[in-house]
Structure 1
Amino acid sequence: QTAQTQIQIIVRSNISFLFQINTNGFVALDAPPEEEAYLGKMPAGFKMISALLGDLDNSDGRGKVFFREDSSPDVLRRAGEHIRQAFPRDDSLKPHSAFVVTWVNMAAHGTSGRGDGLEVKRNTFQLVVVSTASSSCAILLYPRGGVQFLSTSVEGQTTLLEAGFNQGLVSSWFWSSKQGTYFKTTENETSISELTEKTNSGRRGVWVYEIGASSFFVGITPGMTVTPTYTSPETVAPSYPDQPETESPQSEPLQPKFTVPEPSEPRYTPVQPEYPVPDPVQPRYTNPDPVQPVPPRSQPQHPQIVVVDEDEDLDVNVFAYNLETCAHNRHKCSAFADCRDYSNGYCCHCRPGFYGNGKDCVAEGKPQRMSGKVNGRVFVGNSPSPIELRNNDLHSYVVANDGRAYVAISNIPKSVGPSLQPLSSLGGIIGWAFALQQPGYQNGFSLMGGVFSRQAEVIFQPGNERLSITQQFKGIDEHDHLVVSTELDGRLPEIPLGSSVQINPYKEIYQNNKNLITSSSNRDYTINSPDGTVETRSYQWRQTVTFQSCPHDEATMAAPSTQQLSVDQIFVMFDNGNQLIRYAMSNRIGSVHSTLPEENPCFTGRHGCDINAVCRPGDALQFTCQCAAGFTGDGRYCHGNTNSLTNVDEYVDECHQDLCHRDAFCSNTPGSFFCQCHPGFHGDGFQCRPASSAREKTPCERLRESAQTSASLFVPQCDEHGAFEPTQCHTSIGQCWCVDANGQEVPNTRTGPGNAPLCINQAVTPPPVGPTPRPDVRAIAPGTHLLFAQSGRIEHVPLDGYSIKKEEAKPLLHVPDRVVIAVAYDCVEKTVYWTDITGPSISRASLSGGDLQSPEGLAVDHVSRLLFWTDSMRDTVEVSQLDGSQRRVLFDTDLVNPRPIVTDAAYGRLYWADWDRDGPKIEMSNMDGTDRTVLVKDDLGLPNGLTFDPESQQLCWADAGTRKVECLDPHRRLRRPIVEGIQYPFALVSFGRRLYYTDWRREAVIAVDSHSKMETDEFLPQKRSRLYGITTTTTQCPQVYNYCSNNGGCSHLCLPRLGGFTCRCPDAAAATGQCVERNLNFR
């Protein structure tokens, strides 16, 4: 036979248990999958005990499987002797019930019917599961000569037999599931062959394991007596009718004594009264359906299902740990919790700075996320046909320190989308779970953690339509998202397409009774139809939430029995173009009584703390902001306290979850994201409404609006001004291409799935070279621009003299799904270079990053045509030609977190900063890597930004640690402060007497006069998010010269230095012998 054969038996004690006995040599307590899923692939995903697992066969009629539940005195005495011998120090293990399974003459699959005349090898073995008052034990018996083969063939590969215990997949409080206890008693051929000769119970061939709880052991505990208590084992011959006696081990296996007509049935020395003969298991090729318990004392309803009545308890949950102590269960607590023992058990408690039920803990003040799937059948209006929802994505985001919750559900058809708008609580339960807590009150997550069930019923008036909502919350997953599955079933009153819905603020009373929370409320909502009619309707809302709290700690049971959830600022919208339903609301949990006249800002949410901070109330209206665990800062602004720019895997692009309004920008930032309404709209980015003086729609916007009526049409992407984005993509065919200012495709730019072309906005290409000024006049060239990086964009803003022409800011480049860090400009070819850490890569048009890991700083020597960069993961400073060829590592020692790098082309110098928190420094070297020296090491914190002005010969830096901008003459080593008390600078560039830097906290470009040492201007981009690198584009190049302007006659790299240059080989060519290195000095 080719399929596994199994039998189900229901054992009735105080509770009914279902065993699944399998011909492949194991007993399962869960329904096993097909044998391809576990043979040779242990540990498996289901609960089982393996006596001798393999691809076994009983199709020839000789192989038999016998089983029984037995509590006879003789069997219990024999089992007790084995257990006491195995655990001589523990005489409290007294059996009160046993379950016996015997596999007799089992062959390896494919051997019993091969017809080659060779004797088929067969295995016989036995499993006894014994229940005691405090735990369970497993006794495995292998008669001498009973194990004749050690392996079976699985998928053409020889696979050893396996004996052991497997708990399967179990629920985890932090992960969705994990592999439970797994214990193998066999590892190789030797250990399998020794099963019949050795022991851990004092009797050869008998192996005993405690598989329940023990006050001394955790998990599976093997017997302790490994030396047999006898030297020459006596054997007891099992009696077979009309056949000679065969050898059996002295250990006297616990076996069924059956009287049967077949000669292959065993009858061993009697150890209990005789029982009727059950039919042996016959081959079956499909898994039987689960069997329901039958009434006591009824006869078997199926020849392969036996019901045994037994008054004694039978502990078949052999993996249960009966001792509820921290020693056994600490792993069930959150990583941010402590385990405490109580008189009757243990409880988990979140540590200070975290909240939850101890099994799920999250950082105070940190934004929380929920994700999951929505399924169901919903009727709309009088329609006789339901709308099917299948695995629709649900995403939610909560600003925990002020109670704002945002929810989006995708792929909602227009036939049901408008009618779902009144159901803000469909996703708003995360608002209650993380509601802003008033003193002495607890939100849902503080009470329950992340594992609970919710059942809600909605009754709509006046039509009496009913809808049920069932939600299962499954805890926090590996992405720190609360995972939920949602089922909808029922009927909704119809709301016309294009209607808007307004829901009035409401209050809801939550009643807490141990592990049950109930609430109900009446809610009004107003429908504004496209034809101008306005209608007010209502519905009744009732819900029940069930969860499991810790019963041993009285403090956890002392939560307020009655609390009031206040919900306001409710926004709902169905986005037909994107097939999204959106909900937003603010939530507070507190007393059912009137609020105090004055409330601390921490309890109202009007505190101004960073979204990654917790608000700490003080006296009266005083408060402080404290960054959440995992973040650092002053509380008003917090950032990740790890080198998040190098930990690319930590970036989660929440803009893909469609939480922002369709008329808003979404900007992803490390650990968070930001929404801002488009020009012509007002709101917070999650809710955007047209301004009264909205401008006329552009051709791109009109085309986008008309295309959104059909899912199959290409929908153009427009920027914040309504212009065509330079990069356009058609997601249904997986292609992207560049367009000009009129939206027409640029030839030869179309790319396939997984790639996007580099498209430059034709309308804002840097202006052409202007006239050369007189050498003795310090001119500010017209057409100079600032370029700065913001997520996946490089923005462009012109300078009028030193003034920023803010109203003319436009995007220059858009690189989707990238985080651009540094930007540099080649004034010769009018080319922009940038680094991104998500590639990671250095780019201009098609410059690939190779084995880059986290390229950060970037500098161009426009004279030598060289590109220099730092890599904070590889801890290197490197150089290449502008096309990316001839790459060479200049430095790979004494670097920890190198970031900014700049060049001095006239003197052939490099300058870079290393913001190593334990030893920040600014260094200098020649471009060929010689004369490396530390310029600054004192009074530095986080020198993020670095710039060099070739005219004044000033090296300046912006320090996010000391919050200063300073400058240094690198020749005379004269250091002078420029400004102090700045916020969090990231990058810096000099232009004339001005210094411009990007600031993460202010999310702005700030201008500073280096002469007056005063801040002179600030530019706030339309899209508010962190700004990264910054540089200038000029209409002319600085008038400087070095010895590598024509590559110096070098075969490969020409690297200039003070007084000469060096011909260097790239790393890839250094060992080929085709590259010559030489030094030339002219001083």
Structure 2
Amino acid sequence: GPGRPLGPPTGERPGQQRTRGARSPAQQRLPPARPAAPGTAVFNENQMRVRGRRPATDFPAIAPFLADIDTSGGRGRVLYLNGKVSGHLRVGHTPVHFTDVDLHAYIVGNDGRAYTAISHIPPPAAQALLPLTPLGGLFGWLFALEKPGSENGFSLTGATFVQDTEVTFYPGEERLRITQTAEGLDPENYLSMKTSIQGQVPYVPANSTAHLAPYKEIYHHSDSAVTSTSSRDYYLTFGAVNQTGSYRIHQNITYQGCRHAPSHRAIPAAQQLTVDRVFALYSEEEGVLRFAVANQIGPVEGDSDPAPVNPCYDGSHTCDMTARCHPGPGTHYTCECTPGYQGDGRSCVDVNECATGFHRCGPNSMCVNLPGSYRCECRSGYTFADDQHTCILMAPPPNPCENGTHTCAPAEQARCIPHGDGTFSCACLPGYAGDGHQCSDVDECSENSCHPAATCYNTPGSFSCHCQPGYLGDGFQCTPDSSSGLKACQQQQLYAQAQHARPGTRLHIPQCDEQGDFLPLQCHGSTGFCWCVNSDGHEVPGTRTPPGSTPPHCGPPPGPTQRPRTVCERWKESLLEHYGGTARDDQYVPQCDDLGRFVPLQCHGKSDFCWCVDKDGREVAGTRTQPGVTPTCLPEAVPPLIGAMPRPEDSLTGSFLVYAQGQRLGRLPFKRTKLLKDQASTLLSMHGSIIVGLDYDCHERKVYWTDVAGRVISRIGMQPGAEPEVIINSGLLRPEGVAIDFIHRTMYWTDSGLDQIVRTNLDGSEREILFYVDLVNPRAITVDPVGGNLYWTDWNRDAPKIERSSLDGTGRRILIGKDIGLPNGLNFDPVTEMLCWADAGTRKLECTLRDGTGRRVIQSNLNYPFSMVSYIDHFYYTDWRRDAVISVNANTGAVTEEYLPEQRSHLYGITAVFPYCPTGKAGCGTPAAAAMAPFPVPAPSGRYSELEKLRLRHTQGGWSLLPLQFSNYKPNNKSAVATWLQDTHPWSPHFPHRKQVNTATEEDLAFTN
């Protein structure tokens, strides 16, 4: 490409060689693909990209000077220089320090023009350095246009030298020292330069413009040193004020002479550098200090009129940019194409050495043509012999992990990981910490991994937990021992105290008397509710009082009851405690008879929605009625099941978003994609928790979350009376992202404290650590159950990435590793098969196919996203800058809505709850589709023309399913599917819809693929 050296950007790869014979850095570079437009000061980005960074290259104040940047006339062969600048200055009386700011130089070698840009110098110092042209003048001397018999600085010093410059400003006599060290050519043939500036400079007002006159300098040469002393005048303008100044400059350049230089080579004792044009500019908005100089080096001249300059020297010749200009007498010259090109010198074309056979590539190698040259590449499995042309079979690299030459810790503490190229890395095994070369035992007992009622014993690389006396269990879960002689109150008190030691728990700790019996009055230490209990510790109905009120008067406890509490009674008490002691009219409470059994007729609060239940409290399908109609419920009479119907869900019907906000789970309903903000509510509050990651199991309608404060993973069903359930309470440090595979019934999570990716069954059993190396800050995680892929983000500041593996942990690879900053949110859409992420670093929402191809930007102006979920054709993400839920149209990228909760604090995870499982592109009839269907799906009975149709008949309470005749078949109905509908949605390729036919009471149900 334009501006690139002949070799690869990062040096030569094995199996490649660079053609030899180039005399100077200018001849080791390819010409630009096309000349830059005359009269512009903005260089093409491809020509100016340096190590993946784009240097500051525009010089708007010097456009007239750059008008002849056209490269077609043979000038414009570009050279590049990179470096770092550090300074300890006193600007006036103000100290200013900066370290390793970027310096980039761009030199037009055939014209002797040098452009220098220094970025991010603090404004007071950058403004004061405006008159100091030696910062960029060095590069003008290095690559000055050479007159006959003269040599520029690079021809003398090469790529390694040291320049010490002493500057004295007048009239204030401030002194400054500049040391510029050339450190040779890097693998890309860019000259590397380190600059140090120390001393005091005069103060220059902000927004000043510096004017510097052309000047001449005499350089005196010896075998290994060049010196020069001169004075320069400048004047500054700022507004209507002009200010003049001057400085004296002494330069001393030391280098190692070339011992291989021709013996007849004569270096003039003194040469004159003529600088025709000088420009200096500082842009505070960009933070860039720029210099531009045009230079010629020649013999020391007197005051006589200069002789005419040969076009080869001033760049006015008409030779091709790939040709050499040979000066003749006076202003005459000839043009000759350089090796690798052919033509008359004014027009040269590349010679294809590979096609013409003019190359030296041997067997088992390939010839690759380059502009003006060629390159040999060995085929896979071969490498170059000593002649750099013949390819020989490559010996397999040694495996240090097998031959024992690695430096990893012992095998019982670390594992050696071979990389296949003779290198290796070391990683400590679980239970040890270190860099892999040195591993020390991790004290897991300090992480409180055991149950509070257990004792932890640390061992090398592991640990064990043992329940304390009076408890039974495996050490991770301990319960009071009923055979220990303790009474029921004492056992419950010990157990509750042990659980209370964990963050996020709100268990009531029973109060016992001196004999170990329940005190008649019990009060909750966290909520403040009080109530009376009997001798078994059971609450006496009607005695609960709210916080701040007078506690109930509890008499002597009645005698023990003869039966334990039933399921109906326990469920009722649990719901009443959840509701704060009293249920509202719109909240469901089970009705029990005098024996604690479920009353066959159950109704939802005072809404008159009623249904029948069996003896276990399960709803009898098909018995739910509208207000005003009471079903006939017979005890133990179970009618035939028509189809599974959901249990009353209070306000949890339909589709809605669930988002985490500190210790609270919020609920935000939507209709299709429109947010129903006025119906937003609190789904659950967990005191002392910080809920981070969220995901939804559509099969069992349960929401899972991670709690970074409580170090637990919990879940709750979307059914009435459901209570939070802790499923993982040990072995966690900072659990963040969580993902549910609703097909294979597994759960995955990230732990940024332990740097792990873990998989378990949904009940927490069969835990398996999939990954624990090459992870720094794992955060979001999502699963593609149909495709069998697992994706997660790692916002390692040094190398952020998105990785992918199979569901069993095999096939791990980096999917996205470029142009990514802080990937927080991650979501896989099974319908579109797109993996999308929200990046708080790049402020972009991007998507790609599941294999990493087809990457595209959806929205490029996000605020600060944390978590994200997709639904239909919208994305919903939580934003930390707005503390809001924001929706984005997936097709247009437009922000469509914003929801601001009343409580203003950071929002964390977000997920979508809907009454069905997505089928993706698995196809009807496939095992994946069957596993994901929420209700029974009638199977097709043949080809399209023979598909059974379904008819929905409208009744007072809902929709019933009836078969349609084949004569009613319509070709645009692509598959026959039955599901439960609450709304009529607009037509889309992802959702069921109903369509009006002959009468107002019957509709076809159509599903599109």
Q: Which structure has the larger Rg over C-alpha atoms?
A: 2
- Fold agreement, TM-score > 0.5: no
Normalising by structure 2, we get a TM-score of: 0.28
